[in-house]
Amino acid sequence: MPEDGRGVDSRIYERAGGGCVNFNQHHHAIPTTVDGIKFTSKKEAARYQYLKQFKAAGVISDFSMQPRYVLLEGYRKCCHRILSPDTKKCPSCGMKRPKFHHGEEYVADFLITMPDGGIIVEDVKGHIKTPLFNSKWKRFEYLFPELSLSIVTNVKAVPI
Ligand SMILES: [Zn+2]
């Protein structure tokens, strides 16, 4: 195990705006810009507009885009041991800067704060979940049990 595990600070951070860098491909998605923000699909842009209205109406307290969650921290490996990313030298063989392996993140579409303080992490999907997503979802659930992950597939059906 990486010795540092998951630091609270690295677990959740938000990044407003920008393009969607979700792990999943939005098949046949049409990039759409709203309020100067580029969304990878019309559904995602529509959901953004719904959320703006929800916020104005007080249904939700706030929302932000593209919350990122670390599912696996980056690490180094040498001599059959996992070492922290900042390892300068393998304690076993002395090799400098052992090979670094990138970690893995889950980037959702929205982070919503409810009036009661509850947090909902939302992903807008236009198609059936892929095995890759199911795997990420499972790990996300395991690592962040305090958060609710909501998959929105039918944006138009959401009432205002
Ligand atoms: Zn080594």
pLDDT tens readout for residues 80-106: 999 999 999 999 999 999 999 999 999
Looking at the predicted structure, is the pLDDT value of residue 117 above 70?
yes
Query: How many angstroms is it from 81 CA to the middle of ligand 1?
Result: 8
pLDDT at residue 5 greater than cutoff 70: no
| Alpha-carbon torsion, ordered 122, 17, 113, 145, to 10 deg | 50
pLDDT confidence of residue 134: 82
Give the model's confidence band at 152: pLDDT under 50 very low, under 70 low, under 90 confident, else very high. Answer: confident
Cα of 70 vs centre of ligand 1, distance in Å, is 26
Q: Over the range 16-34, which residues count as b (16 or more CB within 10 Å of their CB) and which as e?
A: eeeebebebebeebeebee
Distance 99 CA to ligand 1 centre (A): 10
* pLDDT per position as a tens digit, 48-81: 999 999 999 999 999 999 999 999 999 999 999 9
Domain ranges across the chain: 12-71+107-157
Fold (CATH) for 12-71+107-157: Trna Endonuclease; Chain: A, domain 1 (3.40.1350)
At 20-31, the pLDDT tens digits run: 334 344 456 788
The pLDDT value recorded for residue 69 is 96
Cα of 79 to ligand 1 centre, how many Å?
Answer: 4
CA 19/CA 80 separation, integer angstroms: 38
Cα of 76 vs centre of ligand 1, distance in Å, is 10
CB 83 within 8 A of CB 68: no
What is this structure's pTM?
0.70
Distance 96 CA to ligand 1 centre (A): 9
Model confidence at 1, pLDDT cuts 50, 70, 90, reads: very low
Percentage of the chain beyond pLDDT 90 is 59
Q: CB under 8 Å to 48, separation ≥6 — which residues?
A: 34, 35, 37, 39, 65, 110
Give the separation between CA 138 and CA 13, rounded to whole angstroms.
Answer: 20
What whole-number distance in Å separates Cα of residue 46 and Cα of residue 152? 11
88 Cα–ligand 1 center, Å? 11
Beta carbons of 85 and 100 less than 8 angstroms apart: yes
Listed in sequence order, the residues at least 6 apart from 144 whose beta carbon sits closer than 8 Å to its beta carbon are 11, 69, 121
